[in-house]
Amino acid sequence: MPDLTKPAPAVPSEGVGSALLEVDAVTLRFGGLTALNEVSFEIRRGEILGLIGPNGAGKTTCFNVMTGVYQPTSGAVRFDGRTLTKMKRHKITKIGVARTFQNIRLFKSMTVLENVMVGADAHSRVGFWDALLRTPRHRRTEAEATARARELLELVGITARHDELASNLSYGDQRRLEIARAMATNPKLLCLDEPAAGFNPAEKQRLMELIRKVRDAGFTVLLIEHDMKLVMGVTDRIVVLEFGQKIAEGTPDEIRDNPAVIAAYLGVEEEDAS
């Protein structure tokens, strides 16, 4: 069992830049519709990777294949040397992949602290009888999980509200809580699905700072996000999809100047903004 009193370990220097997750020629078809067509890219240890594209580009579908929601028609997804294809979603979580959702999925009738501890339970090996009899092992594990949950709430900036119901938090703080709960599973890869949805500019700036803090705490981050200013400002590399195909990959500067991306995505944004 991992030590829940400690944050996720920093990425060893020799591991920085090596592939943590590989998407290898993934194709996904729904009947006659090809949602993804031989998409390939990798997420490197210690980086923040952005996955972007216009509406309908296939980024959420690709995200769902990577996290076990969908099984690819062909191709493979490998994580830390293990093939995820046909692996159950809870097992994918256990080996180190955590995600948030576009629609916040908290336990609204539980406290903020309890929500994060639910995430820590993903790695708990305390059995039914330990919990029922409150054995020393159970009490020790519970104390470790509580300490870890408080550390994560401090990291995301809502530790002062630990004993409030999740339903009483503002929308922005509920987003922060969801990120803390995902981190409580002690993942090697944290996948954030549209975390800035519904945020005002000030909240987006704070989110950028939080994502950097998460990476600096030792997590590798995959970010799916529509807000181009946020993506360009926080990611190390970006993968761009259009109509289920990868059309570009590179640094934010490279993506910003890529003609195919400008035509498919950024150009649309610039027209809308004018």
Question: pLDDT for 12-24, tens place per residue?
Answer: 444 557 899 999 9
In the predicted model, is pLDDT for residue 71 greater than 70? yes
In this predicted structure, the answer to whether residue 244 has a pLDDT above a threshold of 60 is yes
Q: Which pLDDT belongs to residue 137?
A: 63
Region 145-167: mean pLDDT is 88
Q: What pLDDT shows up at residue 42? A: 97
What is the average per-residue pLDDT within 255-265?
A: 86
Looking at residue 35, its pLDDT comes to: 96
pLDDT number for residue 153: 92
Question: How many angstroms separate the CA atoms of 245 and 56, rounded?
Answer: 11
CB 158, CB 130: distance < 8 Å = no
What pLDDT was estimated at residue 50?
A: 96
Residue whose pair of structure tokens reads 């009888």 in the numeric block: 129
Give the predicted TM-score (pTM) of the model: 0.81
* Mean per-residue pLDDT over the chain, rounded: 83
Sorting pLDDT into bands at 50, 70 and 90, what band is 105?
Answer: confident
Average pLDDT over residues 167-175: 90
Q: State the pLDDT at residue 145.
A: 77
- Structural contact between residues 156 and 210, judged by C-beta atoms closer than 8 angstroms: yes
Indicate the domain borders of the chain. Answer: 13-19+42-273
Question: Residue 189: pLDDT above 90?
Answer: yes
The yes-or-no verdict on residue 97 having pLDDT over 90 is: yes
> Above pLDDT 70, what percent of the chain?
82
For residue 135, which phi and psi values (nearest 5 degrees)? -70, 165
With 70 as the cut, is the pLDDT of residue 266 above it? no
**215-242 average pLDDT score:** 91
Fold that domain 13-19+42-273 belongs to in CATH = Rossmann fold (3.40.50)
- Tell me whether residue 167 is exposed, middle or buried, using C-beta atoms within 10 angstroms of its C-beta: 0 to 12, 13 to 18, 19 or more: exposed
3-state secondary structure the chain: CCCCCCCCCCCCHHHCCCEEEEEEEEEEEECCEEEEEEEEEEEECCCEEEEECCCCCCHHHHHHHHCCCCCCCEEEEEECCEECCCCCHHHHHHCCEEECCCCCCCCCCCEHHHHHHHHHHHHCCCCHHHHHHCCHHHHHHHHHHHHHHHHHHHHHCCHHHCCCEHHHCCHHHHHHHHHHHHHCCCCCEEEEECCCCCCCHHHHHHHHHHHHHHHHCCCEEEEECCCHHHHHHHCCEEEEEECCEEEEEECHHHHHCCHHHHHHHHHHHHHHHC
